[in-house]
Amino acid sequence: MQWPPKQREVCVKASNFSEGDEEPMDPVRKDEFDSGACGSLAPKVRPCPRPKPGEAAGGCSFDGAQITLLPIMDAAHLVHGPIACAGNSWESRGTLSSGPSLSQYGFATDLTDSDIIFGGEKKLKDSIDYIAERFAPPAIFVYSTCVTALIGEDMDAVCKTAAERLGIPVIPVNSPGFVGSKNLGNRLAGDALLQYVIGTGEPSPDMSMGINLIGEYNIAGEMWDIEKLMNSAGIPVTSRITGDARYKEIAWAHRARVNMVVCSRALLGLAREMESRYGIPYFEGSFYGAKETTYSLRQMAYLMNDRDMERRVDRLTEREEARLSQDLRPYRKILKGKKAVLYTGGVKSWSVISALKELGVQVVGVGTNKSTEDDVRRIADRVSDDTEYIPEGGASRILKTVRERKADIMIAGGRNMYVAMKEQIPFIDINQERHKAYAGYEGLLRLAKELTYSLANPIWKLAASPAPWDKEAPPYDR
C-alpha cells in the first residue's frame, strides 16, 4: 500500500486503532509502526509505543509534522483546521532563518462550525489562491488537522487541482493530531517530502555535491555552527532537511553523496528510503559534545571517500578540540561532580549525556518517556548503573528524582521551567524552544557557560532564605 494514504484512508483507518497489543491493527498504521515510526534500525522490532491516551499533550502528530517542515523558510505553511491548531504551535520554536521569513506567517483556514457542517474545501482553495497571489511562494505545504480529517475533507484532491492551476507545488501533509505522537508526525512529514518534493529539482551543474543534514532544524542557529565547521573542512552541504532550508534545495536532495541523520530517529525512514531509491549511504550522528562532533565530521569525510577531505577534517578537529579544552578549563572546575537530572525526548536523551559527561557533569536521572528501545540502550551505555530512569509521570516524578538524588540542576524542556523554579533549583532549557545553540565545539562551550551561570546564579541562595518580613517575629509573639 502507498504511504501516505489518502486523507480519508488516514481518518477511517486510524479510527479502528486500538491501544491494546492483542487487538488487530489496520494495515496502514501497522506498517508505519512496525517499520519504525521513531526510526528504529530494526524494522521488525516495534520501536515506539502506540499512542496512549493523553500522548498528544507532548505534541500531536500535526505538531510533529510542522516541526519538521516549518524550517523550510521560503515556503508557505497553511493549516487546514481551526485556528487553535495553528495558534498552539505557532512561534513556539527557536528555529532561525538567515533570509526569508514566509514560513513564520501563521496561515490557517480558520474553520468555523458552518465549515464543519458544509465542508471547508472551498475555503481551503481560496486560502491557497490568496497565498499564491499575495506571497508568490515556491511551494505551499497544507496540513490536515483532527477536524478536517474527521469530516473527510479531500485535501489531496484540492492540493492537486491547486498545483495544476497555480503552477507551483501544493503539498498535502496528512498528519492529523489524533493519529499519534509528535514522532509519528515527524515521520509523516518525511514521507510527504519523499513523495512530493525530493527528486523534483536539479542543482546547477557547477555545484559540488556533498552531505544532506537530515533532522537538523537550526534551533537557536545550531545549523550555522555546523555549517561553519563543514565549510572549514571543505565538506559541501547539499540540502538542509530542514533547518534554514529553501524549498529548491530539498527538491535536489537526491543528488547528495551522503545522508547524515542528525539527532532524529523519526527521520531514519527518510534516509533508508533515499538509500534504496537513490543509493545514498547514510549514518546517524550528533553534534552534541566534542567527541560526537569529531566523529560526525570524520564519518562524513570517510563516506565521501575523499582522502584530502579526511586529512582536512583531522587537522580541523585536532585544532578545535585543543582550543575547546583550553576554553573549557575554568568551567570544568566548577561543573566537575555536579549532578543533573536530564528530562528531554528521543535522541537528545542520550546525545546530551555525552556532552554533559565531557564537562564532568554526572547524570543522576534521565527521562525516557519519548525514547525508543535503541535510545534507552544508548543511554545505558553512557550513564552509571544507579542512574534513575524516568519513563513517565511528568513533573512529580522529575521532582521526586531531583530530591532523592540531590541533583544540583535540572536540564529539561521549557514546560518544566516552572517546576525547577518552584523547587528553587537551577535549570536550563534544552528543548526546541531554547535560545542557545549547543551543537558543535562552540556549542559545548556555550552549554558549559549556561550550566555555570545557572548554578552560580545568586538567586537560588536568595530564594532559599527566609523573606525579610519572616525574619522578625510578629509583635504578638514578642
Gap between the Cα atoms of 352 and 286, Å rounded: 9
Residues numbered 340 to 359 that lie near ligand SF4 (CB under 6 A) are none
Interaction between residue 365 and ligand SF4 (CB under 6 A): no
Tell me which H or E stretch contains 449: helix 440-456
Q: How many residues bind ligand SF4 (CB under 6 A)?
A: 12
Of the candidate spans 42-50, 58-66, 111-119, 316-324, the one that interacts with ligand SF4 by CB under 6 A turns out to be 58-66
Gap between the Cα atoms of 475 and 478, Å rounded: 5
Interaction between residue 214 and ligand SF4 (CB under 6 A): no
**Closest C-alpha among 294, 338, 309, 318 to residue 444:** 294
CB-CB contact of 118 with 55 (8 Å): no
Of the candidate spans 57-65, 162-170, 215-223, 280-288, the one that interacts with ligand SF4 by CB under 6 A turns out to be 57-65
Interaction between residue 142 and ligand SF4 (CB under 6 A): no
Among 15, 16, 18, 88, interactor with ligand SF4 by CB under 6 A: 88
Interaction between residue 176 and ligand SF4 (CB under 6 A): yes
Tell me which H or E stretch contains 143: strand 140-144
**Looking at residue 241, what DSSP letter applies?**
E
CA distances from 51 to 20, 179, 184 (A): 10, 8, 10
Residues numbered 191 to 210 that lie near ligand SF4 (CB under 6 A) are none
Nearer Cβ to ligand SF4, position 77 or 405?
Answer: 77
Considering the complex, what minimum distance in angstroms separates the CB of residue 141 from ligand SF4? 15
Nearer Cβ to ligand SF4, position 63 or 115?
Answer: 63
3-state helix, strand, coil in the chain (%, to 5): 50, 15, 35
Considering the complex, what minimum distance in angstroms separates the CB of residue 60 from ligand SF4? 3
Of the candidate spans 171-179, 187-195, 246-254, 368-376, the one that interacts with ligand SF4 by CB under 6 A turns out to be 171-179
Interaction between residue 285 and ligand SF4 (CB under 6 A): no
Interaction between residue 85 and ligand SF4 (CB under 6 A): yes
**Closest C-alpha among 58, 66, 59, 81 to residue 7:** 81
Tell me which H or E stretch contains 271: helix 268-278
Among 17, 33, 62, 350, interactor with ligand SF4 by CB under 6 A: 62
CB-CB contact of 291 with 302 (8 Å): no
Max distance between CA atoms of the chain, in angstroms, equals 88
Gap between the Cα atoms of 327 and 323, Å rounded: 6
Among 39, 51, 64, 177, interactor with ligand SF4 by CB under 6 A: 177
Q: Name the residue number minimizing CB distance to ligand SF4.
A: 177
Interaction between residue 145 and ligand SF4 (CB under 6 A): yes
Of the candidate spans 54-62, 127-135, 186-194, 235-243, the one that interacts with ligand SF4 by CB under 6 A turns out to be 54-62
Nearer Cβ to ligand SF4, position 60 or 304?
Answer: 60
Gap between the Cα atoms of 372 and 344, Å rounded: 13
Strand partners, 141: 77, 171
For 350-461, strand residue ranges (E) read 362-367, 388-390, 409-412, 427-429
Considering the complex, what minimum distance in angstroms separates the CB of residue 85 from ligand SF4? 3
Interaction between residue 112 and ligand SF4 (CB under 6 A): no
Interaction between residue 56 and ligand SF4 (CB under 6 A): yes
Considering the complex, what minimum distance in angstroms separates the CB of residue 78 from ligand SF4? 14
Strand partners, 388: 365
CB-CB contact of 332 with 359 (8 Å): yes
Considering the complex, what minimum distance in angstroms separates the CB of residue 103 from ligand SF4? 18
Interaction between residue 256 and ligand SF4 (CB under 6 A): no
Of the candidate spans 16-24, 56-64, 100-108, 324-332, the one that interacts with ligand SF4 by CB under 6 A turns out to be 56-64
**Closest C-alpha among 77, 72, 68 to residue 106:** 77
Nearer Cβ to ligand SF4, position 146 or 355?
Answer: 146
Cβ neighbour number for residue 50 with a 10 Å cutoff: 18
Q: Which residues bind ligand SF4 (CB under 6 A)?
A: 56, 60, 62-63, 81, 85, 88, 145-146, 176-178
